[in-house]
Amino acid sequence: MSSNPILEVDRLVAGYGQTRVVHGLSLEVRQGGVTALLGANGAGKTTLMKTLCGLLPVQGGALRFLGEDIGRSTADKRVLSGLVLVPEGRMVFPTLSVHENLRLGGINQRARPRLRQNIERVFDIFPRLRERSSQQAMTLSGGEQQMLAIGRGLMAEPKLMLLDEPTLGLAPVMALEIFALVRRLTAEGLTLLLAEQDVHRTLDVATHAYVVENGRVAAEGPAAEIAGDPRIRQAYLGL
């Protein structure tokens, strides 16, 4: 990984109350491209994502984003700085329209002046959302809701987008669309940290990969090396 780190996680400890899930985990996300976060259900990926974006407290270790210590920053301040989570399960506002969901994504002080332009950009990326602009989010298909969740994240003008299980529960054809979108966004310069169960396709789009097991990094390296290492494939990825 040649470019500068945009996110540095140093011996992070995190969890839920007295229950620790992440145990001294360290990783870096470098500017540009996709860093993959792989591991079985329960490995600690979602807990890590929630801690990175400020939904869970840092219980130990350090977080630095763009060189600044963000370990005590609130979630909204992290969004303002450009660290944006698209959560597992989509979590759109079901009774609000597509357009209203997108507007809420762009309310931070940095992005708000370009609200209209950013909505147009999202509609250009997701033409189906333009067609359904006035529909309530709960009337969308699962794939369309995932588009809306990603579009809402883009409205915040992220410098680093955290994508947590974006293809979970989607039909195969829609999952392929999500991976195509990942390629498009990185080609446009966005940096992504992607947690995914589809190991093959994730390693195919990623530049670097971390394998998480029991809240710790079990293996890491260039994605192509992780994909080609039979020991890692068998021991951690079930391949």
Task: Indicate the length of the chain as a whole number.
Answer: 239
Chain centre to alpha carbon of residue 87: 7
Give the pair of three-digit tokens for residue 62: 């350090």
54's torsion region: left (phi>0), alpha (psi -120 to 50) or beta?
left
pTM value is: 0.91
Query: 60-65 and 5-16 as β-strands: parallel, antiparallel, unpaired?
Result: antiparallel
Q: How confident is the model at residue 1 (pLDDT cuts 50, 70, 90)?
A: very low
Interval 223-236: pLDDT, tens: 999 988 888 877 66
pLDDT for res 239: 59
pLDDT for res 131: 95
Say how far apart CA 31 and CA 186 lie, in whole Å.
10
Say how far apart CA 137 and CA 134 lie, in whole Å.
9
pLDDT at 121 over 90: yes
Interval 43-68: pLDDT, tens: 899 999 999 999 999 999 999 999 99
Q: Where are the alpha helices (DSSP H) in the chain?
A: 45-52, 75-81, 98-105, 115-125, 127-131, 142-155, 172-187, 199-205, 223-228, 230-235
Give the pair of three-digit tokens for residue 95: 């009774």
pLDDT for res 4: 79
Q: How confident is the model at residue 192 (pLDDT cuts 50, 70, 90)?
A: very high
Q: What is the mean pLDDT of the chain?
A: 92
Q: Where are the domains of the chain?
A: 5-235
Q: What is the mean pLDDT of residues 173-197?
A: 93
pLDDT for res 127: 94
Please give the backbone phi and psi of residue 53, each rounded to the nearest 5 degrees, phi first: -90, 0
Give the pair of three-digit tokens for residue 162: 């955290």
Q: What is the mean pLDDT of residues 96-113?
A: 94
- Write the class of the CATH domain 5-235: alpha beta
pLDDT for res 236: 66
